[in-house]
Structure 1
Amino acid sequence: MRFRRPPAVGVICLAALLVLTTPAHAKTRVDLGEDEVGLSDTLDRYREYRSWKARKNPLVDYAYARLCNVDSQHLESDIDGECSPPNGTVVLPGCDEDEPVMPLWRRTRVTVRSPWSNWEMRIGWACPDDLLPQLTRADFRRLTIEPTATHRQPGARGTVLVNKGIIGWVEPDERTFRTSLLDYGIDVVTWPVEYTWEFGDGHTLTTTSPGGPYPNRDVEHVYEQTGMFTVTLTTVWEGKYRVDEDEDHEWRAIDGTALTTATLAPFEVTELRGHLVG
């Protein structure tokens, strides 16, 4: 992938790597239920830029430009002209086959007639992948994933016999979603990877096989007692996502899993008895 260099005003970084002279910044904590995600200053600044880009506040201006001099008292760019000979080294991030994105600068003024302030670097050199939001486990688990279709043999009209058992299976279909994250359009695809069957008598079975109807016996359980039982299936889902603004349209693995639970209708396990007839 080759990342096209942005124009004077363009896309800003989500998680940019700053040059050596830029100190580490505090993080904003965002409550996502069971998980917390740290949003860096870079992400906050990116959101400010997107807001400005949508509304074009005349008192604020953004531009991309190279960083001239990392050892000077004030960070300088080549926006207003060529850089002076450097007295320090600007370290560019390694982006594999991608071209790093230039730093983003901002200037402000009090009124439309006031002079502009000096340019201030808001985001340093970054890789294109750093400019995209990450779909977290918490985001993944917010999606309403329809549980897998679950079946058993004997079926609802069949008789389940003690010491004979049942066979279970699922339909391991993918689920697709269209959602958004921080105003980015996101495509999500998820699929089942593990199944835990709870048979209602204290026994469980965990497997990666979806099973199948007879003669498949990957998911089989024999009941040793008669009575009413309910089978519950917990499915583990993995997934991938794609961000609209990614020029590569690359699918990225979601770091974490989601769970769904399906409960089959209760059924009775009976004992088959012989009877003498005249």
Structure 2
Amino acid sequence: MVDRLPWEPEDCQIITIPLAETNLRAQCASPATFVCPEGAIGVTAYKYRTRPLNSADPWSGWRLLNGPCAPIGDPTDELADAVARELKTLKIPPKHAKIAPITDWFTVQTPMTYYTDAGTELLTTTVLGTNVELELTPSSYSWDPGDGSKPLTTTKPGARYPDQTVTHAYTKVGTYRVTLTTTWTGRFRTTGGTWQPIAGTGTTTHTTAPFETREIRSVLS
């Protein structure tokens, strides 16, 4: 959950300003005479704080969301920049990692199928005081088998067994979990507006319940 408010003069004394934000430092030092440097225009500076969704945990401290100046002629406007930052921390419903076939345990050296649900996510949020619609689409899926192997990265969500688009064979007996990291790209629009691409990406993760692998040996009677 993210809370945003305009930057207030008193915030200059109580909120840490990043070292790279020289414009805000100059504005705080001399608010009556401050002007943005050549090649930039004045915009509203915002602060933000976060806490886990549906949680009674306390809010984090306030941080700077954007400074008081924006480049002139930048192809992305202030709202687009803020949406790109929002995507990095947005609570996106994760794609769930699924394994097949469904059994109580799996045999080593036998390919296990990985897959997840396909489809986009349609979300709404408030950015810089503006209601924004988001359409987010998975661009890649990274499957960590949990056995020390290199994650499998694909652009497709896999499919249910017996399809074997995405598989992994475990070589040792043990108990494992599969973790799926989904990378999201998307576009946004204000209510009734035109869709615009979102710069950057967001990620989500989901881990399966533990499962067991066993070794089957032939026994002569």
**Residues 1:227 and 2:174 are matched in the alignment:** yes
**Residues 1:216 and 2:163 are matched in the alignment:** yes
Q: Distance in 2 between matches of 1:236 and 1:42?
A: 29
Please tell me whether the aligned partners of residues 39 and 71 of structure 2 are also in contact (alpha carbons under 8 angstroms): no
Residue 23 of structure 1, CA deviation: 4.7
What is the CA deviation profile of residues 173-209 of structure 1, one whole-angstrom value per residue up to 9, with x for unaligned ones?
A: 2111111122211111112110111101111211101
Match of 2:189 among 236, 242, 255: 242
Please tell me whether the aligned partners of residues 148 and 173 of structure 1 are also in contact (alpha carbons under 8 angstroms): no
Q: Distance in 2 between matches of 1:228 and 1:23?
A: 61
**Residues 1:178 and 2:207 are matched in the alignment:** no
Residue 26 of structure 1, CA deviation: 7.0
Counterpart of 2:152, as a letter, is L
Please tell me whether the aligned partners of residues 139 and 185 of structure 2 are also in contact (alpha carbons under 8 angstroms): yes
Q: Distance in 2 between matches of 1:215 and 1:198?
A: 21
Q: Distance in 1 between matches of 2:208 and 2:92?
A: 17
Counterpart of 1:141, as a letter, is K
Please tell me whether the aligned partners of residues 27 and 38 of structure 1 are also in contact (alpha carbons under 8 angstroms): no
Q: Alpha carbons of 1:41 and 1:224: their partners in 2 closer, same or farther (altered >3 Å)?
A: closer
Residue 30 of structure 1, CA deviation: 5.6
Residue 231 of structure 1, CA deviation: 0.9
Match of 2:200 among 222, 243, 256: 256
How do 1:114-153 residues align onto structure 2 when only pairs under 5 Å count? 133-134=79-80, 135-153=82-100
Matching residue of 2:216: 272
**What's the % identity of the aligned pairs?**
29
Higher fraction of strand:
2
How do 1:1-278 residues align onto structure 2 when only pairs under 5 Å count? 23-25=38-40, 37-40=66-69, 133-134=79-80, 135-155=82-102, 157-203=103-149, 204-244=151-191, 249-276=193-220
Query: What's the secondary structure of 1:171's corresponding residue?
Result: coil
Q: Which moved more, 1:179-188 or 1:132-141?
A: 132-141
Counterpart of 1:164, as a letter, is T
Query: What's the secondary structure of 1:255's corresponding residue?
Result: coil
Q: Distance in 2 between matches of 1:140 and 1:182?
A: 14
* Higher relative contact order, chain-length normalized (CA < 8 Å, sep 6+): 2
Residue 35 of structure 1, CA deviation: 9.4
Q: Alpha carbons of 1:243 and 1:199: their partners in 2 closer, same or farther (altered >3 Å)?
A: same
Q: Distance in 1 between matches of 2:71 and 2:168?
A: 54
Counterpart of 1:189, as a letter, is E
User: Structure 2: which 5+ residue stretches go unaligned?
Assistant: 1-36, 50-62
Residue 259 of structure 1, CA deviation: 0.6
Query: What's the secondary structure of 1:269's corresponding residue?
Result: strand
Q: What TM-score, normalized by structure 2, do the two folds share?
A: 0.65
Q: What TM-score, normalized by structure 1, do the two folds share?
A: 0.52
Residue 158 of structure 1, CA deviation: 3.8
Query: What's the secondary structure of 2:110's corresponding residue?
Result: coil
Matching residue of 2:13: none
Residue 146 of structure 1, CA deviation: 1.0
Please tell me whether the aligned partners of residues 35 and 138 of structure 1 are also in contact (alpha carbons under 8 angstroms): no
Q: Distance in 1 between matches of 2:70 and 2:153?
A: 43
Counterpart of 1:180, as a letter, is T
- Asked which structure has the greater CA Rg, the reply is 1
Residue 142 of structure 1, CA deviation: 2.7
Q: Alpha carbons of 1:256 and 1:25: their partners in 2 closer, same or farther (altered >3 Å)?
A: closer
